[in-house]
Structure 1
Amino acid sequence: MTAAVSDETGRGPLTGVRVVDLTTSYAGPTAAMYLADLGADVVKVERPGRGDDTREWAPPDVNGTAAWFASANRNKRSIVIDLRSEGGKTALLSLLDRADVFLVNLNPGKLASLGLEPETLHERNPALVYCAMSGFGLTGPDWDLPGYDLVAQARSGLMSVTGEPGGTPQRVSTALSDVVSGMAAALAVSAATVRQRQSGEGDVVDVSLLDTDLALMAPRISAYLAGDPEPRPSGGTDSVLAIYQSFATANENIVIAVGNDAIWQRMCTALDLGDLATAPELADNAGRRAHRERIVAAMTQRLRCHPAEVWLRVLREARVPCAPVQSLSQVIADPQVNARDGLLPLKGKGEGLVGVHSPFRLGSLPQPPNGPVPDLGGDTVEILREAGYPDGEIEALLARGAVEAADHTDVTGAA
């Protein structure tokens, strides 16, 4: 299993790393995509008939490719394996014997029933980096409970601080837990492969959605344990910093972030709020927190006098961190986003869909690979050949339904 998705732009730092990706939905596929963006050869193992759950998360879709699926599955190849069949399970084990990394998000109990738990696989391939992604981790009383982004946001306390003042807790309206868990997994796996190359030893990487959201809540948890009142939904106005929130202008909302005393002084000058700048009780952040309502009232009254574009220009000239609160239609037209190629038009069957650049840039890889999302089972024959299967055995596996290919071309006539 050595072929990789075509890389027309260079070799990433993970070139030569072979990844078997037995994940579905969003966190695991995101982790695998980031590894592929860095040059790894990612083989996506999918179930017969339906494949990854997100293939059916539509509309929207283009030419039958769901936007959600496309957003987390570029630069991969797809093989369809029926793990309930003996031939299918053997095929997966053959891939894992040659793999460097195994990503899986099956329920830990199901992993044991399939013989895919870390101990068993490490007996076969001691150098394997085994990355288990789950709702609650491989240990603890709730290790076998199913988990989704919504569940993790609720249980971690993240929802308890999100929403309008006095309102009900709200979920952050994107797959936050999934995406950040994918980042965490890609980071840990990359580190484990460095050790693997140095010592020949594998590892077990345990990433859970709950742990990810606890990490996102770290500053709030630390502040609470240090004596801050237990936070409630507040519309984002109760940061440790004052001022650090959104404001309405004459036409649109903007955000202003006062990160230190020097910025506070520059902001007051820019907004012509000299009385606030000279007030001794507001000279430091502790004082500004104590008088937050007074400051917000004065700023709100002032900012409503002019439209957002005026205030953004004034504040930026004063080197005060600020930004418009943009809708997605504005985000996709943002000059900074586009200057950094933040949006990636997808190729192949997903042409017409747009992905998002991975959240890192490497000087050694100015243009990362942007290969197409795979057809379900589109690479089954190629991948099995790489694993050492002769054409006759591949034909037999296809005939028994242990594996499936994207079309019904005989193996001997396959490209």
Structure 2
Amino acid sequence: MIRPLDGMLVADLSRVLAGPTAAVMLADLGARVIKVERPGAGDETRAWGPPWAGSSSAYFEAANRSKQSIALDFGDTADLALAHALVDRADIVLENYRTGALERFGLDAASVLARNPRAVYCSITGFGSTGEGAAMPGYDFLVQALGGLMSITGDPGGEPRKVGVAMVDLLAANHAVMGVLAALLHRERSGAGQHVEVALLSSLIASLANQAGSYLATGTAPRALGNRHPSIAPYETLRCRDDLIAVAVGNDAQFAALCAVLGDPGLASDPRFATNPARVGHRDDLQGTLEVLLAADDAAVWAARMLGAGVPAGTVNGIDEALALARRLGLAPTVGVGPDHPEQLAHPVRYSAFAPAPATAPPALDEHGAAVRAWLAAPRD
């Protein structure tokens, strides 16, 4: 079986989440990923527990499967020479150091590309690599705040809230992989590598989609609406007899079907609710009317009835329930990585011509140091 990145080498100089996650995706596509870590401590997320799993924290394991680990001290002459040998052989270099921090070691983009002009060197920054942004620390939570995401997350009039996972880091990881793959295709056509840069802030802003589009169209910045949608109704959570149900009505036909399921088809012709703009304009009335009807039964019962009638709806699941649903649907959301390690999240894309590379356990610190050192010391083919 041929995979897109078979035979390619990734020198992963990144840590925490965005870069390491991008490296996992490249490993899934067939690349060999060698993670370079600090001697003694390694990636700082190894200590980000509890909970603990395998050789380190569950956090570290979640972003570092399918890699080899070598510990190198860039301040040590021999170790730095090994780091140079690694990036000089690499097809892809990933890093998320503070801008300029790698220059004194000759591991910055300009130095690496001068020695290895076919490399694709990917830098993940917080706010860009020039001007004021170069000195700003790039942490997901900070970018969620400065980048506007927190302003549209949470209850109306309430305190701004972050998303419940480091979403900006994960967006940046996906954009980094997109940029790396585009640069590899460009290399196939031109013969030359290049420097690819992804800023967390740019990744977030590019993902604000209709919310940013609303501001650009009107000059008014959107604000948090809780679980409501700014342009569609009912597209929110509603209270049933026992719990909440998520209802995602996207058009008038679906709303008519919802009304029929709830036993009040006449609601679909009520002037307040007959069209989507009317429903958006009468959100509070709509919510109150629907919740009176929904109080007659439990959320799971209503969800089954609605789905049966073609109305997008579902219960509000925990992560355990979400994984169970994905397994029931045959989506295989997790992958085993060997004994003494918990399962990890699987590559989410299905390909008709190949399967992702088999996953291996997240490495212990410097687990592959001796083997990688011997390989780097051997003559190149």
Specify the TM-score bucket, using the shorter chain as the normaliser. over 0.9
Aligned to 2:149: 158
Equivalent of residue 288 in structure 1, options 262, 279, 302: 279
Task: Within 5 Å, give how 1:26-175 maps onto structure 2.
Answer: 26-175=17-166
* Counterpart position of 2:189: 198
**What's the counterpart of residue 364 of structure 1?**
353
Q: What is the Cα deviation at residue 360 of structure 1? A: 1.6
1:385 is aligned to 374
Q: Is the 8 A contact 2:27 2:357 kept in 1?
A: no
Amino acid corresponding to residue 365 of structure 2 in structure 1: L
Q: Name the TM-score, length of structure 2 as normaliser.
A: 0.94
Larger RCO (alpha carbons 8 Å, 6+ apart) = 1
Q: Please give the secondary structure, in 2, of the residue aligned with 1:332.
A: helix
One-letter code of the match for 1:376?
L
Once the two structures are TM-superposed, the CA of residue 284 in structure 1 deviates from its matched residue by 2.9
Question: What is the CA-CA distance between 1:258 and the residue it aligns to?
Answer: 1.2
Q: Which residue of 1 aligns with 2:267?
A: 276
Deviation at 1:158, TM superposition (A): 0.4
C-alpha distance 335-34 of structure 1, shift in aligned 2 (>3 A): closer
Cα deviation code 1:244-290 (max 9, x no counterpart): 11112111211111112222222222222323211345333222211
**Helix, strand or coil at the partner of 1:204:** strand
* Corresponding position of 2:234: 243
Q: 1:320 aligns with which of 298, 303, 311?
A: 311
Q: Alpha carbons of 1:341 and 1:47: their partners in 2 closer, same or farther (altered >3 Å)?
A: same
In the TM superposition, residue 77 of structure 1 has moved relative to its aligned partner by 0.6
CA distance in 2, matches of 1:347, 1:11: 23
- In structure 2, give the amino acid aligned to 1:383: V
Letter of the 2:13 partner, please give it.
L
CA separation of 1:337 and 1:384: change in aligned 2, threshold 3 A: farther
Q: Distance in 2 between matches of 1:184 and 1:116?
A: 22
Question: Aligned in 2, Cα 1:131/1:335: closer, same or farther, shift over 3 Å?
Answer: closer
Q: Would you identify which runs of 4 or more consecutive aligned residues in structure 1 move more than 4 Å?
A: 335-338
The correspondence for 2:251, drawn from 260, 279, 286, is 260
Gaps of 5+ in 1: 1-9, 391-415
Q: Aligned residue pairs: how many?
A: 379
Q: Distance in 2 between matches of 1:387 and 1:197?
A: 25
Between the aligned partners of 1:81 and 1:122, the Cα distance in structure 2 is 21
Match of 1:185 in 2: 176
User: For structure 2, which runs of at least 5 residues remain unmatched after alignment?
Assistant: none
Q: Identity over aligned residues, as a percent?
A: 36
- Once structures 1 and 2 are overlaid, which stretch shifts more, 352-361 or 171-180? 352-361
- Shift in Å at residue 50 of structure 1? 0.7
Amino acid of the residue matched to residue 319 of structure 1?
G
- Following superposition, the deviation at residue 221 of structure 1 comes to 1.1
The code of the aligned residue for 1:187 comes to M
Deviations along 1:22-52, one digit per CA (max 9) or x if unpaired, are 0011111000001001111111011110111
TM-score (norm 1): 0.86
CA distance in 1, matches of 2:236, 2:281: 16
CA distance in 2: counterparts of 1:371 and 1:258, whole angstroms: 42
Does the 8 A contact of 2:326 with 2:332 survive in 1?
A: no
CA 139–286 in structure 1, closer or farther in 2 if over 3 Å, else same = farther
Residue 18 of structure 1 is aligned with which of 9, 13, 32?
9
What is the Cα deviation at residue 215 of structure 1?
2.0
| C-alpha RMSD of the superposition | 1.9
Which secondary structure does the structure 1 equivalent of 2:100 belong to? helix
Which of 356, 373, 378 lines up with 2:362 in the alignment?
A: 373
2:54–2:342 Cα contact (<8 Å) kept:
no
> Contact 1:243–1:257 at 8 Å: present in 2 too?
yes
